[in-house]
Structure formats: C-alpha cells, structure tokens
C-alpha cells in the first residue's frame, strides 16, 4: 500500500513540476521570437535546428537563449542592418576578404569565446587560456557548429574532417598504408589530443606521449625486467602516430631504423660481445679486421632475433631475444 501511495505522490509531484515548467518554457520561446521572427526556416543559414540540440531545450532553464550568446542586440532589433552585439564566425577564414555570404564580419575571437566560456569553462577547457588554439586566435565556432542538429566535431565519424581543415599534413599521413583506424571511427583525434588546451606537449590528453599511447597499447607499458631505452623514453622515437608507409607506423624500415642508434656489434668493425660480426684476416702479411654483413640484415632484419623490441621479462632476455 505504501509503495502505491509513494508512486502516486511521485507522479503528482512530476505533474506539478511539468505544469510549472510549461509557462517558463513558453516564456523562453517568446524571448527567442524576437530573433526567430526573421531568422526562421526561410533564412539562408540553418538556425532553427538549434532546437534539436542541447542548446535548444527551452524546458531547461539552464539552456541559453538567443540573447544569451548574441547579446541583447537592441540596435539590431530596431535596425536589421546594424550587427548584433556578438557575431559568431571564423575570422581566420575570412581575413582580408569581404564575407561572401555573411552580412556582418565576425566579432573578435575573444568576444565570441567569452560568450561560450561563460557556461563552458570547466572540465576539458580549464587549459584554454594560453593554449595553442587560443594563441592562434581561434574562435569556438572555428571548430563547433552550434546550430547544427549534430555538431560534426562531436561525432566520431566526422570529427577528423573538422581537424583536417587546418592540419593538412596529418590528413595526408592518415591516408598512408599504415595508420590508426580513423576511417572506421574506432579512434578519433580527441582520443589523444585535447583541442581546448593541455599541460602536455602537442595538446596531448595525458602528460607524456607514452602515457597517451598506453591508453590503448597497455601491453607495451611494462615495467619490464629488460627495458629498451628509446621505447621507455618516447614511442615517437620509432613510430609516427598519424600514419606511415612502413608498417606498423614505423619511421623507417629495419635494419635502418635500428641502426640510427645501434652501429654494432653485428655491423661494426669493432664488434662488442659474442654477436660481433667482424673477422680477422691477413692481407699482405698484415692482420686486418673485416666486417661481413650477416643474413639478419635482410627480411625482418634485427627482429629476426630481437623479437621483444618493447621490452622483455625473460631472465634470459637481456638482448631482447625473448
């Protein structure tokens, strides 16, 4: 009996909340009418689709009105040829040329961003001030499309295209034969980078390159009994994360990649250790050390034997053989 009474009381309270929220929602829509009477479905930009986004839920008092972002814009309401208080747009793409479609030039990026940051100043955006994108005078709308039903940069399948508008080199790298599954939507730029700013280099989400890579490649994390120093230092010593024509995302082919650091013992005239490849011959009565190239310089090269390049936990793995 008590449970039935509790359910009835819950429904009555929800009904009362909805009844009180309805006039508030209607009042908020009336406030928007000052703008939507002109900026309606006939307007050349898709404006009304904002009501299909979180920014358009007028039943929630936390969501902004048109005037919350664009300012009260009293002069614009009386004279449509006077710009609103805040005009959103990407200033970089229109610098030095007259707006092709927009009637008014965008406001300063800082003025635009101030409107957005009045609500969105926490979480991932705490490092925005002083970040690379902020220093380059980018506006939030340079990447975000607030009025669209689905903001492309918030959708994993389309996010990369927004980033590639500026990052052309990374776009080219992504089309190389070895890369991360961007096209499949299994990974996207924001999985590794925080475009709103970071305390790490290259806007990485984690403090270091390795910590970022280990989010997915946990098997390479270690700790290992036998470490490989360049692996412990930085994954990008050997790999190029945005794409490579050498699998798996390597910067160069073995043995050439390995020989950037290792000039011996196998290929050295002064071999070190039992794997040394030099032999002593007598030429004209004079003993000389001659280097002969081993067969492990072909095929998988060094990795024919040194298979555990990321580190080994075998007691006999000092040379990363196993």
DSSP assignment of 246-263 equals STTTBSS-TTTTGGGT--
| Residue with tokens 């009042």, as numbered in its chain | 27
Task: Give the torsion sign (CA, 121, 148, 98, 96).
Answer: positive
Q: Does the pLDDT value for residue 301 go beyond 60?
A: yes
> Which segments of 123-208 does DSSP mark as H helices, in order?
132-135, 156-164, 168-174, 189-192
Asked if residue 193 lies in contact with residue 205, where contact means CB atoms within 8 angstroms, the answer is yes
Percentage of residues of the chain with pLDDT beyond 70: 76
| Residue with tokens 């020989």, as numbered in its chain | 259
- Tell me the average pLDDT across 119-147: 90
Asked if residue 213 lies in contact with residue 202, where contact means CB atoms within 8 angstroms, the answer is no
Q: What's the chain's length in residues? A: 322
SS3 12: helix
CA distance 109 to 97: 17
CA 136 vs CA 129, 213, 241, 283: distances in Å: 11, 27, 24, 66
Segment (H or E) for 41: none
Lowest mean pLDDT among 37-51, 200-214, 239-253, 270-284: 270-284
Please tell me which of 36-45, 51-60, 205-214 the model is most confident about, judged by mean pLDDT.
Answer: 205-214
SS3 32: helix
The separation between CA 281 and the C-alpha centre of its own chain, rounded to angstroms, equals: 58
Helix then strand count (H, E) for the chain reads: 10, 2
Asked if residue 85 lies in contact with residue 71, where contact means CB atoms within 8 angstroms, the answer is yes
Q: Which two tokens stand for residue 24?
A: 């508030």
Task: Determine the pLDDT at residue 45.
Answer: 81
Confidence label for 25 from pLDDT (cuts 50, 70 and 90): low
Cβ-Cβ contacts under 8 Å for 21 (sequence gap 6 or more)? 59
Q: Where are the domains of the chain?
A: 23-149
CA nearest neighbour of 150 among 49, 269, 73: 49
Task: Determine the pLDDT at residue 96.
Answer: 41
Mean pLDDT, the chain, whole residue set: 83
Give the residue, 35 or 299, on which the prediction is more confident.
35
Region for 158 from its dihedrals, namely left if φ exceeds 0, alpha if ψ lies in -120 to 50, beta otherwise: alpha
| Exposure string over 222-232, b if 16+ CB within 10 A, otherwise e | bebebebebbe
Structure letter (DSSP) for residue 106:
P
CA distance 42 to 166: 32
Task: Determine the pLDDT at residue 268.
Answer: 53
Backbone angles phi, psi at 131, to 5 degrees: -75, 165
Task: Determine the pLDDT at residue 27.
Answer: 72
Cβ-Cβ contacts under 8 Å for 129 (sequence gap 6 or more)? 197
Task: Determine the pLDDT at residue 293.
Answer: 53
Confidence label for 188 from pLDDT (cuts 50, 70 and 90): very high
Q: Which two tokens stand for residue 289?
A: 């050390």
Across the chain, the runs of DSSP E, i.e. the strands, are: 278-283, 286-291
């Amino acid at each position: 009996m008590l449970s039935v009474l509790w359910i009835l009381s819950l429904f009555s309270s929800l009904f009362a909340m909805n009844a009180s929220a309805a006039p508030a929602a209607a009042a908020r829509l009336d406030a928007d009418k000052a703008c939507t009477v002109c900026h309606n479905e006939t307007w050349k930009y898709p404006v009304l689709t904002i009501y299909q986004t979180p920014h358009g839920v007028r039943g929630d008092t936390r969501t902004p009105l048109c005037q919350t972002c664009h300012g009260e814009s009293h002069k614009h309401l009386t004279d449509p040829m006077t710009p609103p208080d805040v005009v959103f747009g990407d200033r970089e793409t229109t610098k030095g040329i007259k707006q092709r479609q927009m009637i008014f030039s965008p406001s300063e990026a800082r003025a635009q961003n101030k409107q957005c940051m009045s609500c969105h100043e926490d979480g991932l955006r705490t490092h925005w001030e002083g970040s690379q994108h902020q220093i380059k005078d980018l506006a939030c709308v340079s990447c975000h499309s607030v009025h669209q039903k689905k903001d492309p940069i918030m959708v994993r399948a389309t996010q990369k295209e927004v980033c590639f508008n500026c990052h052309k080199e990374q776009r080219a790298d992504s089309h190389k034969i070895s890369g991360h599954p961007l096209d499949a939507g299994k990974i996207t730029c924001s999985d590794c980078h925080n475009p709103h700013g970071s305390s790490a280099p290259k806007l990485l989400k984690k403090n270091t390159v390795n910590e970022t890579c280990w989010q997915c490649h946990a098997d390479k994390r270690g700790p290992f009994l036998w470490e490989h120093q360049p692996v412990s230092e930085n994954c990008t010593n050997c790999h190029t994360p945005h794409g490579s024509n050498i699998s798996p995302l390597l910067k160069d082919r073995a043995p050439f990649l390995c020989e950037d650091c290792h000039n011996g013992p196998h290929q050295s005239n002064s071999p070190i250790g039992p794997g040394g490849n030099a032999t002593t011959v007598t030429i004209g009565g004079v003993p000389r050390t001659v280097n002969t190239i081993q067969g492990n310089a072909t095929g998988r090269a060094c990795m024919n034997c040194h298979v555990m390049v990321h580190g080994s936990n075998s007691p006999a793995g000092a040379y990363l053989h196993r």
